[in-house]
Structure 1
Amino acid sequence: MTTIDKIAWLRIEDGRLLGARSRGKDVYYLPGGKREPGETDLETLTREIGEELTVGLDPATAVHAGTFEAPAHGRAGGTVVRMTCYTADYRGTLAPASEIEELRWLTCADRDRVSPVNQLILDHLHEAGHLR
């Protein structure tokens, strides 16, 4: 089994979760990405969110919100994504950058438009009363 280790930002506003769609992709993902050698979770998250969404995260406000695993979207069987999720405050204006083509505020109604690991996260957030 191959595991893809990713760090993701959970940004919830008005019962909706921020999602991002990369150019050429047909599903929404949570903003974030893979760590560079030697990076901590928060260093990875801060770098990726700056690159993808043009905002600065405040690491002092970061809170681990859970770690989720599911089959990787669009990959061969046996490939799993492990998504370590954090909430954190930010400064700046959210805007798609780098490979991100579109930002979207997701609700449970968008469950079929996200990757399998993100479906688990949407379900978890809905059950906890955070998403509509």
Structure 2
Amino acid sequence: MELDVLELDVVAWLHAEGGRLLAVRSRGRDLLYLPGGKREPGEDDWSALSREIREELAVELDPDAFREVGVVRAPAHDQPAFTYVRMACFTASYTGDILPAGEVDECRYVAPADRHLLAPAAQAALDLAVAHGLLA
């Protein structure tokens, strides 16, 4: 018996302030996620992430400060069994005021002790941020 395994390919913004990581709650979701999302056809990492952040948080990322931190893989929350998220994580400075926009209802900063509030891929990205000293 062969299982169908689906992998969602997404990008995420790791934005830390005061030793905490920015997370968002989308409309109708029970757990927090990192800002970002799926690529549209033909989009590279920068294009996808800057578009998603503009749509979700109403800020503009700085292309000159755009840096890859790493990639995490985890089970996808609220998706069918055997669905995983492959999340490429990036940092970048920004201009504007972070505000919930589009499908995002809530923005909040979470500490490592708040990991239980995060979806599995966001937990893995939190660990990645800690490993890279972003929450120090």
RMSD over equivalenced CA pairs, Å: 1.1
**Which residue of 2 is the match for residue 89 of structure 1?**
93
Partner AA of 2:135 in structure 1:
L
**Which residue of 1 is the match for residue 7 of structure 2?**
3
Q: Distance in 2 between matches of 1:58 and 1:124?
A: 21
Stretches of structure 2 that go unaligned for 5 or more consecutive residues are none
**Which residue of 2 is the match for residue 131 of structure 1?**
135
Stretches of structure 1 that go unaligned for 5 or more consecutive residues are none
**Which residue of 2 is the match for residue 102 of structure 1?**
106
Of 8, 11, 19, which aligns to 1:15?
A: 19
- Number of aligned residue pairs: give it: 132
TM-score (norm 1): 0.95
Deviation per residue, 1:67-126 (Å, 9 max, x gap):
000110011221010000100010000000000000000111111110111111212323
Deviation per residue, 1:12-69 (Å, 9 max, x gap):
1111100000111111100001001111100000100001000000111100001000
Matching of residue 74 in structure 1 with residue 78 in structure 2:
yes
SS in 2 for 1:30: coil
Percent identity between the two aligned chains = 49
TM-score (norm 2): 0.92
Q: Distance in 2 between matches of 1:32 and 1:5?
A: 11
